[in-house]
Amino acid sequence: MDILVCVKQVPDPETKLRVAPSGKSFDTDGVKFTINNTYDEAMVEEALRMKEEFGFTALRVISVGPPRAEEALRSALAMGADEAVLVETPADLPLDPLLVARYIAAAAKDIPHDLVMVGRQAQDDEAGVVGSALGEYLDLPSYSFVTDLAPVPANHLLKMKRYVEGGEEVFSAPFPAVLSILKGAKDPRTPTLPNILKARKKPLKKIPAKDLEAKVSALQGGAKPTSDILAFTLPPPRAGAKMIEFQTPEEAAERLIKLLKEEARVL
């Protein structure tokens, strides 16, 4: 029983964003990339729990990205993943989240997967598209916003809870499947130094994106993106709060409510 976790390398959330000269993306020049998207780290941890507690055997991680994305995969290997696959994309390859999902689906055809696990969304584009799209491309069911996960491997069944507006649903559903988890059972572990060293020797296979192009073209949507970013803009910096002067709590309340009604018009 095999698990495949999809990870993405993202810019450090503390990075000061600048618009690239093209005006269509952020400027990666001088940007520090964090090892992994936080949500993907949570997923690697949850996948490790599946191995440790529910008898899943192999944990592989996959990423679609430029050569530097190898760092993200090495970090997942240091957390405990067994093998990694990098679909290496040239810098000038136009991609959108659905096309990334098609590349993962194309590569996954040769990677065993009983569970495919995907972070809730990437911290940069916040699309949250890859998971359920992968379900479609791989012809598997998908379950998202899962808050509790307990597989029953003998029956190929997952007992789960998932977030819905206003509460949680307790449900069961079959696997193989694609899963996206809102919050894992445990905080992601920090790799130890010996494990970081060991991770350098774990197998990491690189597949040039063009080697998958024929398989990607065969999927609905084909080898070209279906969306195109026209502009990437930064809002003017926030001026900081308008501070309310007051002597008594009652006065603070009066002034605040008046501003919310008359100036902000949100009440």
Partner 1 sequence: MTLNVLVITDQREGHLKPSSLEAISEARSVVERSGGGSVTIGLIGSGLAEAQKEAKSQGVQRVLLADHESFKGFSAAAYAFAAERMAAKLSAPLAIFLPDTAMGRELAPRLGAKLGAGTATAVVEIQPGASGGLQIKRKVFGGKATETVNLLGTVVLSLRPNSFAIHPAPAGDPPVEPVEVGELPASAKGLAVERVISTRGDTPELTEAPIVVSGGRGLKTAENFVLVENLAKELGAAVGSSRAVVDAGWRPASYQVGQTGKIIAPQLYIACGISGAIQHLVGITNSRCIVAINKDPAAPIFKVADYGVAGDALTILPALTSLVARNKGA
185 touches partner 1 (CB under 8 A): no
Report which DSSP code applies to 19.
Answer: B
Task: Please pick, from the candidates 106, 108, 140, 181, the single residue that binds partner 1 as defined by CB under 8 A.
Answer: 140
Give the residue among 142, 202, 188, 153 at the shortest CA–CA distance from 53: 153
Kindly report the CA angle at 67 between 38 and 213, in degrees rounded to 5? 100
CA atoms lying within 13 Å on the CB side of residue 45: 18
Q: Could you count the other beta carbons within 10 Å of the beta carbon of residue 114?
A: 19
Tokens of residue 193, six digits = 């130094």
Residues 89-118: x/- map of binding to partner 1 (CB under 8 A)? --------xx--x-----------------
Tokens of residue 44, six digits = 């690697």
The residue assigned the tokens 């808050």 is: 147
Task: Please pick, from the candidates 80, 128, 151, 191, the single residue that binds partner 1 as defined by CB under 8 A.
Answer: 128
State the minimum distance, in angstroms, from the CB of residue 262 to partner 1: 12
154 touches partner 1 (CB under 8 A): no
Size of the site for partner 1 (CB under 8 A): 79
166 touches partner 1 (CB under 8 A): yes
State the minimum distance, in angstroms, from the CB of residue 52 to partner 1: 22
199-258 positions binding partner 1, by CB under 8 A = 220-222, 226-235, 238, 240-244, 246, 248-250, 252-254, 256-257
Q: Considering beta carbons, is residue 15 or 195 the nearer one to partner 1?
A: 15
Residues with Cβ < 8 Å from 132, sequence gap 6 or more? Answer: 142, 144, 178, 180
3-class DSSP assignment, residue 235:
coil
16-45 positions binding partner 1, by CB under 8 A = 17, 26, 38, 42
148 touches partner 1 (CB under 8 A): no
Q: Considering beta carbons, is residue 193 or 243 the nearer one to partner 1?
A: 243
